[in-house]
Amino acid sequence: MDARLDYFADPAAGRVLKHVMTAGRELKALPLPAATQELVALRISQLNGCAVCIDMHTKEAAHAGETQQRLNLVAAWREATVFTEAERVALELAERGTRIADGAAGVDDRVWEAAARHYDREQLTALVMLVSFMNMVNRLNAITRQPAGDYVAGSFH
């Protein structure tokens, strides 16, 4: 399968994507735990059907030491016992922030307050920025049907 657009060959896309890539690297440097970042990125990508991001974030997480069991259970995190309470809160915030256009409740006060009990202000900022960033890149990739399967861990870091 070929992508509808080749972002790396398109000059207009290149002008914007260099900033998107920089933002992605800056997000990685924020104080949200790396495992939480990858789990959140993976879950958002699952919800949005972004195959290339699912490929990337499962491989990055595994490369960083994440277990196959936890990666397998991200899609059913509510019923899984392998996630910490803080990770569960981050996954819920990510889902609610992703599904705001689906008529869902969005991030209500209960979810926000739970997140604030587990993450400090800088980590909450990182979590919100990550949720927003992942939704943007998922859409860039899903709209243009970027192919998945060939990602090599460490390629974009």
**Domain locations in the chain?**
11-143
pLDDT in tens, 8-30: 888 998 899 999 999 999 999 99
In the structure encoding, which two tokens stand for residue 17, read together?
């994507």
- Out of 62-66, 133-137, 146-150, give the one with best mean pLDDT: 133-137
Architecture of domain 11-143: Up-down Bundle (1.20)
| Range of 26-35, 95-104, 142-151 with top mean pLDDT | 26-35
Q: What value does the mean pLDDT take over residues 80-103?
A: 94
| Confidence grade of residue 7 (pLDDT, cut at 50, 70, 90) | confident
Distance CA(157)–CA(153), nearest Å, equals 9
Q: With b meaning 16 or more CB within 10 Å and e meaning fewer, what string describes 11-48?
A: eebeeebeeeeeebeebbeeebeebbbbbbbbbbbbbb
